[in-house]
Structure 1
Amino acid sequence: MKHLHTNPEIGRLKMQKFTFIWTYILASISITKSDYTAAVLEYQPIISTSPNATVEVNLEEYARYINDAKQNKTVNIIVFPEYGLTGFFSDPAPYGIVIPNRNEGPNFQNYWLEKLSNAAKANEIYVVVNLVEKAANNKNETIYYNTNVMFDRSGKIGAKYRKINLFNEPLLTPGNSDENQAVFSTDFGVTFGMVIGYDLLFYNPSRSILANSSVADVILSSAWYSALPFYHSLSYHLAYAQANRVNLLASNLNSLDKGVSGSGIYGAKGNIFSYSLPGTSTSKMLLSGGLNTPREDFVPFDLSLSKFNTSRVFEGNRYKFQTLNLTSDSVVQQKVCYGLFCCQVNLTMGTEVNSSEVYQLMAYTGSLRLMDKTLPFVRICALLACESTDPRTCGNSAASSSTKFENISVTTDVCLGQKDFFQPLYLTTDLLPIYNTRYESIIKKYCTRLTLSTSREQKNVLAFGFYGSGGAMLNFSCFVVSFMVIVTYFI
């Protein structure tokens, strides 16, 4: 991808105390119903002298980007990130506004809504923004929601979605799935579902919205804290799109010191239309082409990650590990089980093998703690690069990973309840997703067999396998099958 445009006001903004980063990612997405062009922004909000001034200066930037999108390419829909207008805050009250329901507008009493509506109407473009919504509960107490609003081409509110799964947002109220308007249809023949941030980690709403058979495209507005090795933004977002066979428009806030970054447009076949993981404070536009045939190689925008503070959530002493013996042998096979949950890897060694490097196969079933949230039932099966044979050093991007694998194939048999789900897990030590993979989910008599494999030689592998969530208890048939798998392995 080429840098086709530089914002003319960047010199002026650099002179200000507060700077912004935005990456404009455009993609024409090919789907069965219709082709359309989408834009997502990675954006660092400008923080001004007061909450009102902060929102208004960012509204001006939003309006300019909406106009710029329309002028540079015929964009049908543009998506902005979570907390993009406000930045992070401790008190939602100064930012809270009353947001009308669907079909209201294009005239609004609130200036912020009026500004967004006018920009959508003037450019005849669908606009998705994130706001703090003020409302009253059944006790007539004031409450606040983390809310996405879609303005249609006429400037009317076409959808409103309140975030259900809050993370580190103690003064906000979670949305009610029965009241949400997370799904909306457009005049270009595409029906979208909307989620916000870590909603993507939970069945409701990230999978429940797909129960609507018309939804083949999902919008994600996020302020995504990347945590190694399982929750990195680019990896998790691409995996969601591939596992659920949907197009994902992921707009992320940019806050490098907090490890918040990584936006992209991902395809239903595990292909990448465009993505960005900026590491410097610059403003550039990225255009992607050749969208019907996924590109083999991508050059991310400003991949300079010295300022990107990626956290790590890894309780190595709780997981089960099996160290792999990396030799010049052409094929390496290994298996590890955590109770009845087993993980198997088949490696075909490539042209370069460093036997001093450490790779371990891990399996885990149980809870994980991420920020202020406990994920109650997680299943992970993965090949991990490690700094040493100590399992606690695995999944760290500092691990040495020069060994090349001609092919990697990871397999597991799982029992799925109604609200259980799995998706691929793939990440390099450069913090980029491993793309052009094959992901298969084959339903057997009692269980489901998952297989993830590479399609070409791969190096710098940090994590490769599966991440699952849900909470299904093993039924008797599945218990028997799982038990027999383990017995067969040890015989």
Structure 2
Amino acid sequence: MASATYKAGVLQQHKELSEFTPSIHKAGDTGLDILVLPPLEPTANYDEAIDLASSAAEQAGLYVVAHLYEKARCQLGYETVRSSLVFDRKGAIVAVYRKAQNSAANCTISDTDLVTFTTDFGVTFGVLMEEDLMLYDEEHLKGVKNFVMTGDWQAEGSFFNAAQFAPSWSFITNANLLSTSGIYAGKAGLKTGADKLAVSELHKNGGQDAPVVPIVSPASVIFPGEDLRQYVVRPLDLEVSSMGYKETVCHRSFCCEFYVKTGAKETLPESSYSLAAFNGNRPFSVNHNIGTQICLITGSEKSNSFFEKVSITANFTKQNSQYPIVQSATVLPTDNFKFETKVNGVPHQVTLEVVEAQNLINFGIFGKDATNKLENNLYSEENSTESAQYEIYDYIFNEDVQEFFDYVWIRLRILIVVVSIYILEMM
């Protein structure tokens, strides 16, 4: 009877060509079925790397996934091309996925369809590069429940880095994800990721173990603070929220409904949080842009408050493209976490809720909005200006701004009276 599981490994830290072969042999000794290698340095010899990886895969008797760089001719010049290659137990290449380093290049690039391969242990894998987590929608995944992800890609935005987004992506798709940032088992969460050679046994049909909250901890991942300049932001009054606090924050036509109730446990004096909403285009790398809808409660790493309950609800344009954002220094029990959708046509409602949570840094819902007209355009000053204009439009209805206009009107009336008296005296 065929096994319901397989043994997977991810090799971390090595990037030198000379270190590949002994590492693959060592992984073979552990009885692995498949091993994902870290990206090889771009200066390495491409053909030599292929030969070494192929020979090592055959000698070790396991599938090997390698991420290599090569120089390829493109029109009148050369482009650096990223290639994800999969070798089977005999050393033969069974899958190739290629992308130019410069995404504006129009040659030597794989088709947009998902590249897959099927193993002799009965599992079909999809091949991804790190930015594909953000670029691929559910329909691209073709029902595949096991993925290998290669590359060394750093996004410009806080939530777009693979190490931060991978837990949520794996949780929502309930798919196994083998990446250099760790091995994720769907809703069962991060299996392993800290060791030089991370090894885990996975169910072939995705995450089948007990679910865990897809938390990203600052102890394991260094993430930059979110740039809120394009958001509509409201400060959270921690004193008022101790009684239970409701606030609706809107950006353009997209609104986020927040409920926050802080507890009586000690809160650090420097703790501060904001409620934020964003609806529009976001750059997540030099050459990529994506339409997003985001609801967010954000603090800093120094923020330390106890939340009896936090709830965020919003109506999103695109179905099945929302992901929970949970960045915290403290583990949250599964029973204290809820993420649910109510599909009633378009838009559809998504709710994220936690109870009895400590040390939340960022908490919210990230949604991809493929209907955004700006999605396929590069981020530009013009787009930034448009976003700012919408923010001003939203903001003028704020009570503080209304008070400002009342103040100006009163002062203007006084000035009119003074000028009128002066004119009368001169007549």
Choose the corresponding residue for 1:415, options 304, 309, 317: 317
8 Å Cα contact 1:271-1:435 kept in structure 2:
no
Supply the AA of the counterpart residue of 1:86: E
Q: Which residue of 2 aligns with 1:27?
A: none
Is the 1:241–1:248 Cα contact (8 Å) retained in structure 2? yes
**CA distance 1:74–1:59, change in 2 (3 Å):** same
Q: 1:127 to 1:440 in 2, by over 3 A?
A: same
**Identity over aligned residues, as a percent?**
24
Determine which structure has greater relative contact order: mean sequence separation of CA pairs < 8 Å that are 6+ residues apart, divided by chain length: 1
The offset of 1:149, in angstroms, is: 0.1
Confirm or deny that 1:450 pairs with 2:420.
Answer: no
Aligned to 1:37: 7
1:183 alignment partner in structure 2: 116
> What is residue 146 of structure 1 aligned with on the other side?
82
TM-score, length of structure 2 as denominator length: 0.73
Q: Is the 8 A contact 1:182 1:209 kept in 2?
A: no
- 1:425 is displaced (CA, Å) by 1.7
Q: Is the 8 A contact 2:168 2:214 kept in 1?
A: no
Cα distance change on mapping 1:340 and 1:248 into 2, 3 Å: same
Please give the alpha-carbon distance, in whole angstroms, between the structure 1 residues aligned to 2:297 and 2:372. 25
CA shift, 1:121, in A, is 1.0
How far, CA to CA, are the matches of 1:174 and 1:335 in structure 2?
48
Distance 1:135 1:318 in 2: 38
Structure 1 residues 62-89: Cα deviation after superposition (integer angstroms, max 9, x where no partner): 2222222222x321111123xx2215xx
Aligned to 1:202: 135
Judging changes above 3 Å, is the alpha-carbon distance between structure 1 residues 317 and 132 closer, same or farther for their aligned structure 2 residues? closer
Listed one character per residue, the Cα deviations across residues 307-326 of structure 1 (whole Å, up to 9, x for unaligned) are: x6x54551x23211122222
Matched residue count = 366
Q: Aligned AA for 2:40? A: L
**1:472 maps to 2:371:** yes
Deviation string, structure 1 residues 243-271 (Cα, Å, up to 9, x no partner) = 222111121xxxxxxxxxxx111122152
Corresponding letter in the other structure for 1:317: R
Work out which of the residue numbers 176, 184, 193 in structure 2 matches 1:247: 176
Q: Is the 8 A contact 2:67 2:83 kept in 1?
A: yes
Q: Indicate the residue corresponding to 1:369 in structure 2.
A: 283
CA contact (8 A) 1:202 1:469 kept: no
Specify the SS of the correspondent of 1:154: coil
Amino acid at match of 2:31: T
Which letter does structure 2 place at the counterpart of 1:218?
F
- Aligned pairs (5 A) from 1:126-165: 126-136=63-73, 143-163=79-99
CA 370–234 in structure 1, closer or farther in 2 if over 3 Å, else same: closer
**What is the distance in 1 between the residues matched to 2:109 and 2:338?**
35
Partner residue in 2 for 1:75: 32
Conserved 8 A contact 2:234-2:249: yes
- The one-letter amino acid paired with 2:41 is T
The AA in structure 2 aligned to 1:191 is T
Amino acid at match of 2:365: F
Q: CA deviation at 1:191?
A: 1.1
Alpha-carbon distance between aligned partners in 2 of 1:299 and 1:471, rounded to the nearest angstrom: 26
Equivalence for 2:41: 86
Equivalent AA in structure 1 for residue 8 of structure 2:
A
Show the counterpart of 2:415: none
Partners of 1:401 and 1:459 within 8 A in 2: no
The 5-angstrom pairing of residues 212-227 of structure 1 reads 212-213=142-143, 215-225=144-154
Shift of 1:116: 0.8
Q: Secondary structure at the match of 1:188?
A: coil
Matched, 1:382 2:296: yes
The answer as to 2:252 corresponding to 1:339 is yes
Is residue 402 of structure 1 aligned with residue 304 of structure 2? yes
Change (3 A) 1:269 1:143: same
Aligned to 2:362: 463
Deviates more, 1:234-243 or 1:217-226: 217-226
Matched, 1:120 2:57: yes
Shift of 1:406: 3.3
1:325 touches 1:355 (CA, 8 Å); kept in 2? no
Q: Partner amino acid for 1:462? A: I
Give the corresponding residue for 2:236.
324
Question: How far apart are residue 408 of structure 1 and its match?
Answer: 2.7
2:17 corresponds to which residue?
A: 59
Whether contact under 8 Å (1:226, 1:311) holds in the other structure is no
Provide structure 2 residue ranges, at least 5 long, that are not aligned to the other structure: 374-393, 399-427
Q: Quick one: structure 1 residues 122 and 181, their matched pair in 2 at CA, closer, same or farther if it must change by over 3 Å?
A: farther
What is the CA–CA distance in structure 1 between the aligned matches of 2:224 and 2:242, rounded to whole Å?
A: 35
With normalisation by structure 1, the TM-score equals 0.64
Give distance in 1, aligned partners of 2:108 and 2:367.
23
**Closer/same/farther in 2, CA of residues 434 and 380 from structure 1, 3 Å limit:** farther
Cα 1:133–1:61 shift into 2, 3 Å: same
Distance 1:172 1:427, change over 3 A: farther
Matched to 1:378, the amino acid is T
1:409 counterpart SS class = strand
SS at match of 1:317: coil
CA RMSD of aligned residues (A): 3.8
Aligned equivalents of 2:201, 2:150: Cα separation in 1: 23
Classify 1:416/1:96 alpha carbon distance in 2 versus 1 (closer, same or farther; 3 Å): farther
Cα separation, partners in 2 of 1:209 and 1:128, compared to 1, 3 Å = farther
- Change beyond 3 A, Cα 1:176–1:358: same
- The structure carrying a bigger helix percent of its residues is 2
Q: 1:304 to 1:192 in 2, by over 3 A?
A: closer
Secondary structure (helix, strand or coil) at the match of 1:416 reads: coil
CA distance in 2 between partners of 1:289 and 1:246 (Å): 14
List runs of 5+ in structure 1 lacking aligned partners.
Answer: 1-31, 46-57, 88-93, 98-109, 252-262, 277-282, 386-395, 475-485
